[in-house]
Amino acid sequence: MSRNTIARISLAAVRHNLARIQSLAPDSEVCCVVKADAYGHGLARICEALSQADVLAVATTGEAAMCRKHGWVGRLLLLEGPSNVSEFEEMVALSAETVVHHETQLQLLRHRQKDVHHALWLKIDTGMHRLGFPAADASAVYSELEKLRSKQATILMTHFACADDASNPMTLRQIDRFDEAIVGLPGSCSLANSAGMLNFPQSQREYVRPGIMLYGISPCRKKTAEEIGLKPVMTLQCELIAINEVGAGETIGYGAAYTCREPKRIGIAAIGYGDGYPRHARNGTPVLVNGRLACIAGHVSMDMIAIDLSGHEDAQVGDTVTLWGEGLPIEQVAPWAGSISYELICGVTARVTARIE
């Protein structure tokens, strides 16, 4: 029997989600975040589906090269910027724009001023304390960038730490700090990630930078993807490869972590942590069997999971199991594994066949 463990990838859903983002932020240009292999969806195919994006944003020069290789001729942004001369040269060769977040990058730009032809995105740290110049230095760094750049304008940006929680005052503080830091500095601004553009529309400005929403996943704690009007891009599926009748008092799988209180029908499905299904998914983690809810029983193994088939008397070997995606939002699965949707989608391994739809 061949193993039929697949990630169905809907490019129509990508296009739909981008159009939805454009309608939610009608006055902003959309900088689509496609780093980490387009959040595990396959950068080559996703960047082809994003032909209507204004800018694509990646983390590394390797990812930028991949976008160019697959036909992206539009604006391309390096979110972490170059950290050495060879990355700077790759960036120039790829005609990419860059975030400038640290003094070492200013030094690179000073030495290679003649090669700075594209827009520079000045990143201001407004409270995340990951990347960015202190707000107090924004004006001085801006002046320096204005001298370094040749024709394209400097774009001012920051990144939110807590925008997924609409009631957290941190984001409002970050917006205020940003607005104070840029007083008197002309130029376009970019603050909002997916959660920011939804929960704090005042942060939309000239550019929004959505990532997770493109893939049809809700960035908000209190709104589902469906409520936002998004469609899941990845649906992870496999098949039942065995069904066993297991007696009361017997245990399932490694560590005997699940005990059948009564006789059970247990399905074995062909997916495990070797495919990127999270090892820490607990007893009770939801799955769909033939489109109906069931849950996993016992520890996830490398190649298999066990499923409690109570209420699924008609299930048979070969039937379809959905781990997340259409019919089962990944946002409902991730907490069972102590994780977040971002980590699960990025973690799907090369062993899983992508089926493009």
Ligand X SMILES: Cc1ncc(COP(=O)(O)O)c(C=O)c1O
Kindly list the catalytic residues. Answer: 35, 254
Only one of the segments 104-112, 204-212, 236-244, 250-258 lies at the binding site for ligand X (rule: CB under 6 A); that segment is 204-212
Instruction: State the CB neighbour count (10 A cutoff) for residue 315.
Output: 20
Work out whether 82 is an interface residue with ligand X (CB under 6 A).
no
Q: Taking the complex as a whole, how short is the minimal distance between the CB of residue 163 and ligand X, in angstroms?
A: 8
User: Which residues from 174-193 bind ligand X, rule CB under 6 A?
Assistant: 193
Euclidean distance between CA atoms 268 and 265, whole angstroms: 10
Work out whether 79 is an interface residue with ligand X (CB under 6 A).
yes
Q: Taking the complex as a whole, how short is the minimal distance between the CB of residue 73 and ligand X, in angstroms?
A: 22
- 34 or 323: CB nearest ligand X: 34
End-to-end CA distance of the chain: 24
Q: Taking the complex as a whole, how short is the minimal distance between the CB of residue 81 and ligand X, in angstroms?
A: 11
Work out whether 41 is an interface residue with ligand X (CB under 6 A).
no
Euclidean distance between CA atoms 153 and 87, whole angstroms: 22
* Binder of ligand X out of 219, 253, 278, 325 (CB under 6 A): 219
Euclidean distance between CA atoms 318 and 118, whole angstroms: 53
Euclidean distance between CA atoms 150 and 162, whole angstroms: 35
Size of residue set near ligand X by CB under 6 A: 11
Euclidean distance between CA atoms 22 and 313, whole angstroms: 45
- 193 or 285: CB nearest ligand X: 193
Q: Taking the complex as a whole, how short is the minimal distance between the CB of residue 239 and ligand X, in angstroms?
A: 31
Work out whether 75 is an interface residue with ligand X (CB under 6 A).
no
Only one of the segments 180-188, 209-217, 236-244, 292-300 lies at the binding site for ligand X (rule: CB under 6 A); that segment is 209-217
Work out whether 159 is an interface residue with ligand X (CB under 6 A).
yes
In the DSSP assignment, the letter for residue 328 is B
273 Cβ contact list (under 8 Å, min separation 6): 279, 300, 301, 302
Work out whether 17 is an interface residue with ligand X (CB under 6 A).
no
* Binder of ligand X out of 81, 127, 210, 329 (CB under 6 A): 210
Q: Which of 210, 327, 237 is nearest to 9 (CA)?
A: 237
Residue 180 near residue 188, CB atoms below 8 Å: no
- 5 or 193: CB nearest ligand X: 193
Only one of the segments 210-218, 242-250, 294-302, 321-329 lies at the binding site for ligand X (rule: CB under 6 A); that segment is 210-218
Position of minimal CB gap to ligand X: 211
Q: Taking the complex as a whole, how short is the minimal distance between the CB of residue 334 and ligand X, in angstroms?
A: 14
Q: Which of 170, 230, 239 is nearest to 194 (CA)?
A: 230
Q: Taking the complex as a whole, how short is the minimal distance between the CB of residue 289 and ligand X, in angstroms?
A: 30
Residue 108 near residue 82, CB atoms below 8 Å: yes
Q: Which of 167, 349, 191 is nearest to 272 (CA)?
A: 349
User: Which residues from 223-282 bind ligand X, rule CB under 6 A?
Assistant: none
> In angstroms, what CA-CA distances link 249 with 155, 166, 256, 263?
64, 46, 11, 8
Work out whether 216 is an interface residue with ligand X (CB under 6 A).
no
Work out whether 18 is an interface residue with ligand X (CB under 6 A).
no
Work out whether 42 is an interface residue with ligand X (CB under 6 A).
no
Full DSSP string of 184-226: T--S-EE---HHHHHH-GGG--SEE--SGGGGT---SSS--HH
**Interface with ligand X (CB under 6 A):** 33, 79, 159, 193-195, 209-212, 219
